[in-house]
Structure 1
């Protein structure tokens, strides 16, 4: 079997059986097709350890980061392990491929004071009543208040939010659901957005569809109305808001305040986790809120929190 055909079978398995997110499947696709292209599309059984090592060495010579190399090795091992289980290979040569050790990088975290200042500024802008400003305020409050991933927030539907209990249902990696709380500031911002902004944005989608239909030759009275989206957060034209728009918003507001040009939405998730631990939250509770499968993933935030604890100790303890 050609390696490319086997890769397609594996990708289908990841999406349909293991139910991994489209973004994760795309990452596996990029890694595996890079290997197939490098080896010039061989038969699957013809790929040996020497070929895998040459692929890995070539990328390292080009300056590939250790973290990226480790991820690519993981992709290859997953693919070869699946191929052996499916009877497509007699031997899994990828088991002998050495994965470089990743250096542990602490996440970028904004201080509570910086975020409070940013959110105050965004709230003031929303006070003028602009639909986009109201949405942005609600989005940032919710993102920071819940610790959600950006993809989870973009996938949020209206019936996923329980306003009375101030909780929301998030769909995480592997299509797993979890219920997370959010605070009163986020609830107030959400209510203002849902009442004063979302109907305005939703109406734009109907108007755009009608205008496009008329331009194509149909009459306005017969212009089809798009199905009402249940998305909580809408874009400027009324469709479901995408991750790129959220990334741009966070970079423009939080990134500018922190002084990190490429700061993305995940920084608010990192900040939420760190601030929870700083406030005395149990590590297991933070794991549940973030939706981490492993406690080890959550423990990286204890390093950030411990650094602040050490600084406070040095400043305050007479024997420090």
Structure 2
């Protein structure tokens, strides 16, 4: 690639993508999922430019995004590609591959903020009180992880990463490593503690193997539990409760946040518990509560 400026800089396409990948992983510490998505986006942009960075300016960026829009890409995808383009051009400018950063002139495309589906408090109670079998290790594990997901609102990746020593039974908190390797402590209640104790005393020892390590939750073969298994557990338990929406672990996170706010918790406390970097992300749950209130009003008030 021949790049403009005071002098031409020749950069190979594979070198650009490889260096950008290392930047995203090592310096930005983005998740593997986000890295893969960003590299796909950069590949699309480079394909649009026939593999050349030379001539990349704001007009090219806007034309590329317009083509994506015309191809029917979802607003969420366009928002991510806009964010990726801005990150990519800033990186290329810092490396000297672009004489200026055209991404600075690119507006932010915002994805629609759809209100998440949540359980009401009676449904959540029914999910956690649903028959859980005869005390086999799988049933003890499933009950413990369901209780902990709802009690803490942690992400499924955070739950799977928990080690035995991350549970502080004296203070009833778990130590969670969240996005961006930011650590936080999240409290939980007595039902979750009892379920964890039953799993750790009567269930986990029967599944422990050499490869188990310190993992809190295990799969049937003794390895650390994976997100797919947790999702299957949540879907199966919700299917036992009549009227409960079908959702995964993130639905329990949404439900926990909504119920905290309905119970009087302040927004910043919920932000801290959930590990949100921005208060704007947490504010969606206030809209969920308002919509639920409106629905109840329309159903119950004679002059609604």
Does the TM-score normalized on the shorter chain lie above 0.5? yes
1: CA distance between counterparts of 2:164 and 2:282? 29
Is 1:238 aligned with 2:222? yes
1:199 counterpart (205, 217, 229)? 205
Per-residue deviation, 1:310:
3.7
Per-residue deviation, 1:142:
0.4
Gaps of 5+ in 2: 1-10
Is 1:87 aligned with 2:96? yes
Per-residue deviation, 1:51:
4.3
Per-residue deviation, 1:144:
0.8
Say which SS state the counterpart of residue 179 (structure 1) adopts. Answer: strand
Aligned to 2:125: 116
Deviations 1:47-99 (A, max 9, x none): 44454344323432332211111111111111111111222211223344455
The normalised TM-score by structure 1 is 0.83
Gaps of 5+ in 1: 204-225
Per-residue deviation, 1:176:
0.3
The Cα RMSD (Å) is: 2.3
Per-residue deviation, 1:197:
1.1
Instruction: Write 1 or 2 for the structure with the bigger share of helix.
Output: 1
Aligned to 1:292: 276
Is 1:172 aligned with 2:178? yes
Cα distance change, pair 99–188 in 1 and its aligned pair in 2 (3 A): same
Per-residue deviation, 1:130:
1.5
1:149 counterpart (149, 152, 155)? 155
- Correspondence 1:4-23 to 2 at 5 A: 4-23=14-33
Say which SS state the counterpart of residue 113 (structure 2) adopts. Answer: coil
Is 1:71 aligned with 2:80? yes
Aligned to 2:69: 60
Cα distance change, pair 296–192 in 1 and its aligned pair in 2 (3 A): same
Say which SS state the counterpart of residue 108 (structure 1) adopts. Answer: coil
* Alpha carbons 2:212, 2:223 under 8 Å: kept: no
* Alpha carbons 2:123, 2:244 under 8 Å: kept: no
Say which SS state the counterpart of residue 287 (structure 1) adopts. Answer: helix
Aligned to 2:7: none
- How many residues are treated as equivalent by the alignment? 293
Cα distance change, pair 8–195 in 1 and its aligned pair in 2 (3 A): same
